[in-house]
């Protein structure tokens, strides 16, 4: 909807200022309301209103005389339409349309090429670009930085000093326009309804919306007095939550909702694309901003002209002046964009390359089509020129014609891109990652329109300019259907098409390799068995003994339920990289090392299929009131205690000196899971018993012999029956959870698949056009051969054979191109060689098949050629 509005506003921008100043805002408001009133037909409304806007444009600019101020009474005659602004345009367009109908083959090939190559490709590109690179819905996002305590350096002194809220830090004013602290990944229990629900949220300082530059869609931001202890209980909720839980009630502002039994007043609803930080859907003002550097989380807006490093410098100075000289280096900042998209740069490079290649194929295709068009039209143009058509008139016609083709094709393509957006959304897992906006900015639309129009103009103008008058006369004199005519051009054309085939094949191979790599990565050994696992998150709202009793009953009852073999509990699911860190004090090093961790129950290892290699499992007596225990994985043991038996050793937590350490005994060694991402080498990890901490949100993991839907239903019902008040969430199979967490894989598969299909169809169109043209050009030649007794099947084979030779050349070049190209991006491929033979063979076979099919269709016309008719035409 906002896209539509922006497009409309943009077009309104070309109106005279006088008009815009007078009624512009009103007109926009009316448009906005019109859009809101038409939920189902917004696209139609936009199209209609845009057409209306454009139709009125010339009169508003050039019809300056007041249309109703008449010096003499109006007569019927004088009240005719104002003179047309571009009278010839309409008649030219009519001529062009008639031409298309006469030769539907050319017109449809050109439109398809424009639609696929320029429209759809660019639209897909724009969409993916938006999703991958520009999805941060914050104002002036490049000035936003994430400030965090850097816990990877200076372990020893860390966590010692408590710092006041950053608002009280001095000397930051000149570097930052604003700093807003937050505390992310907080779970809030929404109750007070039928189904209690745990949602993710954050505590934030009151000005966080100002700092990020986001406006609520309803209500207001937090006020300064709403922050801090004893302030009024107010809350922001997300648009999604507002819709799903509160039925999009417009009266929600001022309404009180219950969070863990406490009433909180809703003062604002935030747009759904704003889920900062970390997928939050609920925001509550902070009570205190006091924190150690390790726990500091803030987002800052750099003052204009201040660089990131200057910003970091002033943060460090502030830390130092607060007495944390030794912790000076422990604070840092990264640009918000890098923080969120840091890891995604690699496939993106391939993606850009592939898109550019497809565009190139499209351009070659359009060029070759118009080359052919020009060829066949020389005769016609010559005739018309000799009948008195002026050269500007002919040029205008040709330009009109190509503009028309470009507009229709490009329009179709952009429409396809627009609807493709919904396909993308549908193809994505439900759990769309935070921060993502799905709108195509108006600037992208204007760029698309520009590309389409420019290419139309170019391809129309170039042949028109080339068709000089002298040339026309020569053509007229010579006739066009001589055997030799157009031969050099056909060679040029053949090489254009061969290039198309080569480039399209490169795209195909590139896309195939990348997708294969992504799929392999997802399918790589995970270190556990996800195939028959179902999961559910149960998060009771009570603490201590009662929680442990509850979870004990959960494992007991689920194990007893038919169809479940192993049941375990874990704090989180291993759906890829484990980002949860624990500061282990390694006695032998005398230092702290951050290692990944998981909290779980004794059943976890069997449920996940992770073997215990030595030592004992957790037991029910490992409780909060018994000595602390933990397990380490193989990588941990190899890195810190190489060649030693880890069982019986001990680990501390945090940087305290040994005498004051809180020691944990290592009771077992377990096999590695791929905790640094599937297919990557495992890293050191520890496992802690969940009931030595105050956890009350655990994932239930159950191995099942049932089919997935039955198992999921049974799991939910079994757990629900234990205590209906406990909020349950995330009911899914482990495979689903993995797919959701790795949404980029289906997404990339979809995008690259689509791009390779576009490239394939474009190349096939190119071949089709060439063969059809050849057959038409050589009809006389072929007819003579048929007349002297060559059988049509043989002629057909001859034509197909020629295109096969073309295909062979193209395929060979494509394979070489891809092999060289993929060498450059070898580091981006995962578990796949850049010369994976299967990929190359399959891609080449697909491409050759497409070429043969594309040439066979027009070649069949030879069968229908009647020698007498063909020769009689001359």
Partner 1 sequence: MKPDQFLPLRPVEFQVLVSLSQGDRHGYAILQEIEERGEGRAVPGLATLYRAIVRLEKEALIIRSENGATSIEDERRRVYSISPLGKAVVAAEARRLAPLVEIVRGATT
Residues lying near partner 1 in the complex (CB under 8 A) = 19, 22-23, 25-27, 29-31, 33-34, 48-49, 51-53, 55-56, 59-60, 66-70, 73-74, 76, 79
Helix H, strand E, coil C: the string for 835-863 is: CCHHHHHHHHHHHHHHHHHHHHHHHCHHH
Give the nearest distance from C-beta 52 to partner 1 in angstroms: 2
Chain centroid, CA 96 distance in Å: 39
Give the nearest distance from C-beta 48 to partner 1 in angstroms: 6
* CB-nearer residue toward partner 1: 60 or 697: 60
* CB-nearer residue toward partner 1: 55 or 98: 55
* CB-nearer residue toward partner 1: 16 or 648: 16
Tokens standing for residue 457: 């103009």
* CB-nearer residue toward partner 1: 75 or 827: 75
- Which residues lie below 8 Å from residue 226, measured CB to CB, with a gap of 6+? 206, 232, 234, 267, 285
* CB-nearer residue toward partner 1: 81 or 864: 81
> DSSP string spanning 338-407?
HHHHGGGHHHHHHHHHHHHHHHHHHHHHHHHHHHHHHHHHHHHHHHHHHTT--HHHHHHHHHHHHHHHHH
d(CA 766, CA 366): 9
- Specify whether the backbone of 108 is left (phi greater than 0), alpha (psi in -120 to 50) or beta: alpha
d(CA 116, CA 130): 19
Is 696 in contact with 547 (CB distance < 8 Å)? yes
* CB-nearer residue toward partner 1: 73 or 305: 73
Per the DSSP assignment, residues forming a β-bridge with 653 are 584
Give the nearest distance from C-beta 62 to partner 1 in angstroms: 13
Give the nearest distance from C-beta 50 to partner 1 in angstroms: 9
Give the nearest distance from C-beta 208 to partner 1 in angstroms: 24
Give the nearest distance from C-beta 269 to partner 1 in angstroms: 18
Helix H, strand E, coil C: the string for 525-580 is: CCCCCCCCEEEEEECCCCCCHHHHHHHHHHHHHHHHCCCEEEEEEECCCCCCECCC
73-78 — which CB contacts under 8 Å span 24+ positions?
Answer: none
- Which residues lie below 8 Å from residue 723, measured CB to CB, with a gap of 6+? 540, 550
Give the nearest distance from C-beta 73 to partner 1 in angstroms: 6
Give the nearest distance from C-beta 265 to partner 1 in angstroms: 25
In angstroms, the Cα distances linking 243 to 2, 23, 419, 619 are 19, 34, 24, 45
- Which residues lie below 8 Å from residue 64, measured CB to CB, with a gap of 6+? none
Nearest alpha-carbon partner for 814 in 756, 754, 751, 750: 756
d(CA 387, CA 125): 47
* CB-nearer residue toward partner 1: 79 or 864: 79
* CB-nearer residue toward partner 1: 219 or 821: 219
* CB-nearer residue toward partner 1: 31 or 548: 31
Per the DSSP assignment, residues forming a β-bridge with 263 are 258
Give the nearest distance from C-beta 59 to partner 1 in angstroms: 8
Tokens standing for residue 127: 């969409």
* CB-nearer residue toward partner 1: 30 or 816: 30
Give the nearest distance from C-beta 11 to partner 1 in angstroms: 9
324-327 — which CB contacts under 8 Å span 24+ positions?
Answer: 324/161, 324/163, 324/293, 326/154, 326/157, 327/154, 327/157, 327/158, 327/160, 327/161, 327/293
* CB-nearer residue toward partner 1: 59 or 841: 59
How many C-beta atoms lie closer than 10 Å to residue 218's C-beta? 20
Give the nearest distance from C-beta 27 to partner 1 in angstroms: 5
Give the nearest distance from C-beta 453 to partner 1 in angstroms: 21
Give the nearest distance from C-beta 134 to partner 1 in angstroms: 27
Give the H/E segment covering residue 631: strand 629-633
* CB-nearer residue toward partner 1: 10 or 278: 10
DSSP structure class, residue 267: E
d(CA 305, CA 715): 57
* CB-nearer residue toward partner 1: 69 or 387: 69
């Amino acid at each position: 909807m906002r896209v539509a509005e922006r497009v409309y506003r943009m077009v309104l921008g070309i109106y005279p200022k006088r008009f815009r100043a007078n009624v512009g805002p009103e007109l926009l408001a009316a448009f906005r309301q019109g859009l809101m009133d038409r939920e189902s037909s917004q696209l139609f409304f936009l199209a209609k209103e845009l057409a209306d806007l454009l139709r009125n444009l010339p009169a508003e600019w050039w019809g300056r005389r007041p249309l109703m101020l008449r010096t003499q009474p109006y007569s019927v005659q004088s009240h005719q339409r104002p003179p047309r602004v571009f009278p010839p345009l309409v008649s030219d367009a009519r001529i062009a349309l008639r031409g298309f109908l006469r030769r539907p083959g050319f017109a449809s090939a050109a439109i398809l090429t424009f639609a696929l190559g320029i429209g759809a490709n660019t639209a897909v590109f724009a969409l993916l670009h938006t999703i991958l690179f520009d999805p941060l819905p914050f104002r002036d996002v490049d000035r936003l930085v994430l400030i965090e305590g850097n816990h990877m350096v200076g372990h020893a002194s860390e966590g010692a000093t408590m710092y006041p809220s950053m608002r009280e830090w001095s000397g930051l004013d000149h570097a930052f326009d604003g700093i807003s602290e937050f505390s992310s990944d907080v779970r809030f229990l929404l109750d007070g309804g039928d189904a209690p629900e745990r949602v993710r949220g954050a505590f934030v300082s009151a000005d966080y919306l100002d700092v990020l530059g986001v406006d609520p869609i309803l209500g207001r931001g937090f006020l300064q007095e709403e922050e801090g202890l004893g302030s009024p209980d107010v809350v922001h909720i997300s648009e999604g939550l507002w819709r799903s839980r509160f039925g999009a009630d417009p009266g929600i502002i001022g309404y009180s909702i219950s969070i863990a039994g406490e009433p909180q007043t809703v003062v604002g609803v935030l747009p759904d694309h704003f889920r900062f930080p970390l997928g939050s859907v609920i925001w509550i003002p902070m009570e205190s901003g006091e924190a150690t550097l390790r726990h500091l989380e803030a987002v800052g807006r750099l003052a204009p002209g201040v660089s990131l490093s200057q910003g970091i410098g002033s943060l460090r100075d502030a830390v130092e002046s607060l007495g944390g000289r030794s912790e000076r280096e422990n604070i840092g900042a990264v640009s918000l964009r890098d923080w969120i998209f840091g890891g995604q740069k690699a496939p993106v490079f391939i993606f850009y390359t592939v898109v550019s290649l497809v565009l190139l194929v499209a351009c070659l295709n359009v060029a070759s089509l118009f080359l052919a068009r020009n060829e066949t039209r020389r005769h016609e143009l010559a005739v018309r020129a000799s009948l008195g058509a002026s050269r500007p008139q002919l040029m205008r016609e040709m330009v009109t014609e190509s503009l028309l083709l470009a507009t229709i094709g490009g329009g179709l393509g952009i429409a396809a891109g627009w609807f493709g957006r919904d396909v993308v959304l549908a193809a994505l897992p439900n759990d769309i990652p935070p921060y993502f906006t799905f709108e195509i900015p108006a600037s992208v639309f204007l760029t698309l329109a520009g590309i389409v129009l420019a290419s139309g103009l170019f391809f129309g103008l170039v042949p028109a300019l080339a068709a000089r008058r002298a040339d026309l006369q020569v053509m007229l004199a010579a006739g066009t259907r001589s055997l030799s005519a157009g031969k050099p051009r056909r060679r040029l054309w053949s090489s254009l098409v061969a290039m198309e085939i080569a480039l399209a094949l490169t795209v195909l191979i590139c896309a195939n390799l990348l997708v294969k790599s992504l799929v392999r990565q997802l399918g790589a050994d995970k270190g556990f068995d996800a195939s028959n696992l179902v999961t559910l998150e149960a998060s009771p709202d009570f603490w201590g003994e009662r929680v442990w009793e509850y979870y004990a009953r959960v494992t007991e009852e689920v194990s007893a339920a038919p169809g479940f073999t192993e049941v375990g509990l874990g704090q989180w699911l291993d759906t890829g990289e484990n980002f949860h860190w624990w500061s282990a004090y390694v006695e032998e090093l005398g230092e702290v090392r951050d290692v990944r961790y998981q909290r779980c129950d004794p059943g976890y290892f069997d449920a996940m299929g992770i073997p215990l290699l030595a030592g004992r499992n957790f037991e029910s007596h490992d409780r909060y009131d018994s000595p602390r225990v933990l397990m380490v994985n193989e990588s941990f043991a190899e890195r810190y205690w190489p060649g030693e038996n880890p069982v019986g050793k001990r680990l501390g937590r945090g940087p305290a000196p040994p005498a004051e350490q809180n020691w944990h005994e290592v009771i077992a060694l377990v096999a590695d899971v791929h905790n640094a991402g599937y297919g990557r080498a495992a890293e050191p990890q520890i496992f802690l018993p969940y009931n030595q901490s105050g956890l009350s949100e655990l994932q239930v993991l159950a191995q099942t012999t049932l089919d997935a839907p039955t198992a999921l239903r049974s799991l939910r019902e079994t757990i629900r029956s234990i205590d209906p008040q406990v909020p349950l969430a995330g009911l899914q199979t482990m495979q689903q959870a993995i797919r959701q967490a790795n949404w980029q894989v289906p997404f990339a598969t979809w995008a690259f698949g689509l791009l390779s299909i576009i490239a394939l169809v474009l190349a096939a169109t190119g071949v089709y056009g060439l063969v059809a043209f050849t057959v038409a050009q050589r009809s006389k030649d072929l007819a003579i051969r048929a007349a002297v007794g060559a059988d049509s099947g043989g002629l057909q084979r001859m034509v197909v054979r020629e295109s096969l030779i073309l295909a062979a050349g193209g395929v060979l070049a494509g394979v070489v191109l891809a092999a060289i190209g993929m060498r450059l991006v070898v580091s981006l491929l995962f578990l796949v060689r850049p010369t994976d033979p299967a990929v190359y063979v399959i891609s080449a076979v697909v491409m050759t098949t497409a070429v043969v099919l594309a040439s066979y269709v027009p070649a069949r016309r030879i069968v229908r050629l009647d020698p007498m008719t063909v020769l009689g035409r001359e």
